[in-house]
Amino acid sequence: DDFVLRIKPNPSRVNRTLIEYVIPVQSNVNIMIYNSLGQNIETLVNRRKRAGTYTVVWDGSDNFGKKVPAGVYFITFETEENKQTEKLLFMR
């Protein structure tokens, strides 16, 4: 019963990066994407979720719908009890 964050494919060459996460207990969940400068470029999830396994798709765009350039991005998965960050290499 652990908090889990999986990103696939990684590195990603597609506009469809799957982010799977598992939460063992009901919690507020935030999944955010940051660029290499530490700027939050996209918020994928910001809501209360029941325990379970979920998948969200990132299409390679920012909060304004603009396609992001190739580079290193950081996916942060945060709940009331856990915080994890994974690196994603995004290529065009």
- Are 60 and 17 spatial neighbours (Cβ–Cβ below 8 Å)? yes
Residue 1 has pLDDT above 70, yes or no: no
CATH number at residue 79: 2.60.40.4070
The pLDDT score that the predictor gives to residue 51 is 96
Q: How many domains does the chain have?
A: 1
Closest CA to 17 of 63, 64, 74: 74
Instruction: Provide the domain limits for residue 68.
Output: 4-90
| Predicted confidence band of residue 92 (pLDDT cuts 50, 70, 90) | confident
Q: What are the pLDDT digits (tens) for 25-74?
A: 999 999 999 999 999 999 999 999 999 999 999 999 999 999 999 999 99
Q: Check: pTM over 0.85? Answer yes or no.
A: yes
Q: What are the pLDDT digits (tens) for 72-90?
A: 999 999 999 999 999 999 9
- Are 60 and 44 spatial neighbours (Cβ–Cβ below 8 Å)? no
